[in-house]
């Protein structure tokens, strides 16, 4: 086991290095692909004093480096969105926020150690998993649209109007076929930082200041913090983490990067648990992996773990050197540009649904009958009714996820839809068997009746 682990790490490191040499611009640009999700939530939690910005940057940077090294794919380290949204809505304290992250981590760790995560992932039909991914993608697009719709073409604020959005969209779609050659995310992010710095230049007090920061201040939540934080914010995050941050990421990795061994569900679950069982004791934002982040980084050119390693190094350097003084710079980042980056990440995640009935993982069978075996054998063809059923299940899951803004409710709706369609299929099969049996009886008795 130890030898296999060392060999796997060696191959991941070699792949990262090779990819960085061949695709340096793509990896660098892809490292910024998840900022559209990270920045708004991180800044909002910092402003609410629910996290330590320096600890968040340093620890999430460390997790980025470790994840990129271990998995060898551009896997994101994202905020726990359900926890963050409730913390901001209910004005929970830093200790309660940390308690929520620790509580989620403990449950995910137990599910991973006992093997329940891997067993559940095999049982969930692919259309439901893709529906969860589509729901997350459409949610990102809607959030981006809501952000950009608040802007105006005739705004008096030169730095944030819909003209910037229009220009960013033109560049995005004008270069969409060359994500590894045109560093779109680098260009947009650099422009946004420059515009933010120009705005802050009027007030020197808000400008970032060089100051060494170390995340050594421990945060010890009380039992009351755990009772409030986990029950209010953490409990609803558990199904979202299991579905979108673990199971969906494993399948999405296989879809986007079939040449790389996809991380196992158990390994992803252990990763999520360890990140929060370490960082949350020092005030770092509760984090997880996410299919949206992986899709965004892939969309902007990332193809290996080198991209998130670059991001991790940058986070650590910025966190140590500037820390909380960066809040003003991030808060003034133009929404017109940030919204376009979020939109692009959402569209990349939505695109994984197009192969549902053609090259999805469950359409392949290897020699041992397991999935995926697409390297060995071609996908199986589906009947028209089966295609329609699979599409319906995927869209019901995505639609309910969007409508209720909850992946778990969408997942349950998809399961119910799948079960009902399966019941109808069984009834149709029984009906066909009954008709065939009746036809055979009729054929056998016809001569007797005729005589």
Beta-carbon contacts of residue 376 (< 8 Å; ≥ 6 apart): 366, 367
Both 342 and 382 in a single domain? no
Both 301 and 402 in a single domain? no
Can you give the pLDDT at residue 436? 66
Residue 426 belongs to some domain of the structure: yes
Nearest Cα neighbor of 382 from 360, 413, 350, 351 is: 360
Both 350 and 393 in a single domain? no
- Cα 434 from chain centroid? 47
Please name the residue ranges forming H helices in 280-326. 291-299, 306-321
Q: How confident is the model at residue 377 (pLDDT cuts 50, 70, 90)?
A: low
Of residues 91 and 64, which shows the higher confidence score?
Answer: 64
Mean pLDDT (whole number) for 101-112: 95
Both 246 and 191 in a single domain? yes
Residue 451 belongs to some domain of the structure: no
Upstream peptide bond of 221 is cis (omega within 30 degrees of 0): no
Mean pLDDT (whole number) for 313-321: 93
Q: Is the pLDDT of residue 69 over 70?
A: yes
CB 70 within 8 A of CB 228: no
The DSSP 8-state label assigned to residue 282 in this structure reads G
With pLDDT > 90 as the criterion, what percentage of the chain qualifies? Answer: 33
Residue 443 belongs to some domain of the structure: no
Both 64 and 154 in a single domain? yes
Mean pLDDT (whole number) for 270-288: 95
The angle that helices 335-350 and 126-149 make with each other, rounded to 10 degrees, is 160
**What is the rounded distance in angstroms from the CA atom of residue 378 to the CA atom of residue 392?**
24
Can you give the pLDDT at residue 210? 77
Residue 13 belongs to some domain of the structure: yes
Residue 442 belongs to some domain of the structure: no
Q: Is the pLDDT of residue 94 over 80?
A: yes
pLDDT tens for 52-68 read 999 999 999 999 999 99
Both 146 and 55 in a single domain? yes
Q: How confident is the model at residue 367 (pLDDT cuts 50, 70, 90)?
A: very low
Can you give the pLDDT at residue 372? 45
Cα–Cα distance list, 356 to 352, 380, 445 (Å):
8, 12, 47
**What is the rounded distance in angstroms from the CA atom of residue 54 to the CA atom of residue 50?**
12
Can you give the pLDDT at residue 374? 42
Both 383 and 285 in a single domain? no
Q: How confident is the model at residue 51 (pLDDT cuts 50, 70, 90)?
A: very high
Residue 450 belongs to some domain of the structure: no
Both 188 and 281 in a single domain? yes
Query: Mean pLDDT across the chain, nearest whole number?
Result: 84
Both 250 and 302 in a single domain? yes
Residue 445 belongs to some domain of the structure: no
Residue 178 belongs to some domain of the structure: yes
Can you give the pLDDT at residue 305? 94
Nearest Cα neighbor of 51 from 108, 103, 100, 106 is: 100
Both 229 and 338 in a single domain? yes
Entry field: residues in the chain: 451
Q: Determine the structural domain holding residue 242 and report its residue range.
A: 2-355
Both 194 and 82 in a single domain? yes
Both 215 and 261 in a single domain? yes
Look at the chain and report how many structural domains it folds into. Answer: 2
Cα–Cα distance list, 165 to 139, 148, 342, 429 (Å):
19, 8, 12, 54
**What is the rounded distance in angstroms from the CA atom of residue 103 to the CA atom of residue 168?**
40
Q: How confident is the model at residue 162 (pLDDT cuts 50, 70, 90)?
A: confident
CB 410 within 8 A of CB 137: no
Tell me which of 39-48, 283-292, 303-312, 416-425 is least confident: 39-48
pLDDT tens for 210-243 read 777 777 789 999 999 999 999 888 887 888 788 8
CB 16 within 8 A of CB 306: yes
């Amino acid at each position: 086991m130890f030898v296999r682990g060392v060999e796997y790490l060696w191959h991941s490191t070699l792949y990262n290095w090779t990819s960085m040499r061949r695709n340096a611009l793509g990896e660098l640009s892809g490292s910024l692909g998840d900022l559209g999700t990270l920045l708004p939530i991180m800044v909002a939690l910092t402003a609410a004093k629910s996290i330590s910005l320096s600890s968040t940057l340093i620890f999430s940077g460390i997790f980025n480096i470790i994840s990129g090294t271990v998995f060898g794919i551009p896997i994101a380290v994202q905020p726990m969105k359900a926890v963050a949204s409730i913390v901001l809505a209910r004005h929970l304290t830093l200790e309660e926020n940390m308690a929520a992250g620790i509580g989620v981590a403990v449950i995910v760790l137990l599910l991973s150690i006992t093997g329940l995560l891997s067993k559940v992932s095999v049982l969930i039909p692919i259309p439901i998993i893709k529906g969860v991914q589509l729901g997350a993608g459409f949610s990102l697009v809607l959030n981006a649209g809501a952000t950009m719709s608040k802007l105006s073409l005739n705004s008096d604020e030169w730095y944030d109007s819909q003209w910037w959005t229009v220009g960013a969209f033109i560049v995005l779609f004008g270069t969409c076929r060359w994500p590894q050659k045109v560093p779109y995310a680098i260009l947009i992010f650099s422009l946004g930082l420059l515009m933010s710095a120009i705005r802050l230049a009027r007030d020197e007090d808000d400008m970032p200041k060089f100051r060494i920061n170390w995340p050594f201040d421990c945060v010890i939540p009380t039992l009351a913090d755990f009772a409030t934080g986990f029950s209010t914010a953490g409990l609803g995050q558990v199904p979202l983490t299991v579905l979108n941050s673990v199971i969906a990421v494993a399948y999405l990795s296989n879809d986007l990067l079939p040449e790389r061994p996809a991380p196992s569900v158990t390994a992803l679950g252990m990763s999520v648990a360890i990140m929060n069982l370490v960082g949350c004791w020092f005030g770092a934002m509760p984090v997880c992996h996410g299919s949206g982040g992986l899709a965004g980084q892939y969309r902007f050119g990332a193809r290996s773990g080198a991209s998130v390693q670059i991001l991790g190094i940058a986070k650590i350097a910025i966190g140590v050197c500037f820390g909380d003084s960066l809040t003003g710079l991030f808060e003034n980042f133009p929404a017109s540009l940030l919204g376009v980056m979020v939109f692009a990440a959402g569209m990349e995640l939505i695109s994984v649904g197009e192969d549902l009935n053609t090259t999805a993982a469950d359409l392949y069978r290897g020699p041992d009958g397991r999935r995926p075996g697409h390297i060995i054998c071609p996908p199986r063809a589906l009947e028209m009714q089966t295609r329609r059923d699979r599409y319906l299940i995927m869209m019901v899951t995505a639609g309910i996820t969007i409508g209720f803004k909850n992946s778990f409710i969408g997942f349950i709706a998809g399961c119910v839809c799948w079960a009902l369609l399966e019941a109808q299929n069984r009834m149709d099969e029984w009906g066909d068997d009954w008709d065939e049996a009746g036809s055979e009886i009729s054929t056998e008795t016809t001569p007797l009746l005729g005589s």
